[in-house]
Amino acid sequence: MAENVVLSRPEFVREVVADAYGVVEKPLTRWEKLYHNGALRKAVLLALLAAAWQIYATALNNPLLFPKFSETFAAFYAGIVDGVLLTRAGFSIKVLLQGYVIGLALAALLTALAITSRIGNDLLETLTSMFNPLPAIALLPLALIWFGLGNASLVFVLVHSVLWAVALNTHSGFLSVSQTMRMVGRNYGLSGPRYVAQILMPAAFPSILTGMKIGWAFAWRTLIAAELVFGVSSGTGGLGWFIYENKNQLEIANVFAGLFSVIIIGLIVENLVFQTVEKRTVRRWGMQS
């Protein structure tokens, strides 16, 4: 009978042995360690791509259409050494930062309005749904009429490209701060700007950071595109203008070197600046894995 089986089994208690396993922790092999290194994996991929480029360009043998990797790299190196690329990049970055900072400030203002009043909220929602899909570069002709052939026009389109992405993300970040967190803030007497600075901003920081990253990427693209259309003011243009000029002079290796610089600056900002910020904030706080 089943009952008897249940009763006939003896109870027991065991001593648990501490070092029962031979291996509790074991170091990984050298290969496993290398493979776990993300930077190394990516470096290998890049080297493979460069090799493919070199082989294809050698086979094609048409430097006007597609220069070799070695030629591009030589042009890039020369550009760095004689300082042309650096001054052009410096010019682009200066304009970019102006537009970016103004864009961030305006986004902060708009979201502040949006969280404090219903009308402000409607305003932000309407404006972002209108302007977010509008490519910043489409405003350039208008900007040229309003602000003339100068930096002001570039800054204007940059602000437009940063503002909506940042405002949209920051606002949705604020909205997703949990009710509990809001009540905690009010419980300890926080209100107004202190409540925003000490509760809402840090709690919404993952979204804010995403907005800033998207805003940066938009701004960088917009700037290069705008410079390609028009980029010369007071004798110096940025990287976009450098690319355009060299295309006209059929210095295709230089065109590639210019594109290469655009990519490298993008990578540096993404991997050094934003990833460092992420590591020190949202990842450390466990808000993002």
Partner 1 sequence: MNITASQPLLEVRRVTLQYKTKDHLVTATYRVDFDVYRSDRFVILGPSGCGKSTLLKAVGGYLPPVEGSMRLNGVEIRKPGSDRVMVFQEFDQLLAWKTVKQNVMFALKASGKLNGREAEERAMHYIGKVNLTKFSDSYPHTLSGGMKQRVAIARGMAMEPAILLMDEPFAALDALTRQKMQEELLQLWEDTRFTVLFVTHSIPEAVLVGNRILLMSPHPGQVKAEMNSDGTDRTGPDGRKLSERIHHMLFADEIEHETVAHG
* Chain contacts with partner 1 (rule: CB under 8 A): 178, 180-181, 183-190, 194, 198-199, 202-203, 205, 281, 284-287
Of 228, 216, 210, 265, whose CA–CA distance to 103 is shortest?
Answer: 216
Residue 277 CB, nearest distance to partner 1 (Å)? Answer: 13
What the block records as the tokens of 239 is 């990287």
Q: Of 200 and 228, which CB lies nearer to partner 1 in the complex structure? A: 200
Exposed (0-12), middle (13-18) or buried (19+): which is 139, by Cβ within 10 Å?
A: buried
- The kind and range of the H/E element at 195 are helix 192-195
Q: Of 56 and 285, which CB lies nearer to partner 1 in the complex structure? A: 285
Q: Of 21 and 188, which CB lies nearer to partner 1 in the complex structure? A: 188
Residue 186 CB, nearest distance to partner 1 (Å)? Answer: 5
Alpha-helical (H) ranges within 37-68 are 38-60
Residue 174 CB, nearest distance to partner 1 (Å)? Answer: 15
Residue 118 CB, nearest distance to partner 1 (Å)? Answer: 16
The Cα-based distances of 143 to 93, 217, 240, 281 in angstroms read 20, 21, 18, 37
Q: Of 37 and 198, which CB lies nearer to partner 1 in the complex structure? A: 198
The Cα-based distances of 103 to 125, 150, 218, 253 in angstroms read 17, 18, 12, 35
Per the CB < 8 A criterion, the answer to whether 66 and 56 are in contact is yes
Residue 203 CB, nearest distance to partner 1 (Å)? Answer: 8
Q: Of 42 and 280, which CB lies nearer to partner 1 in the complex structure? A: 280
What the block records as the tokens of 29 is 């092999």
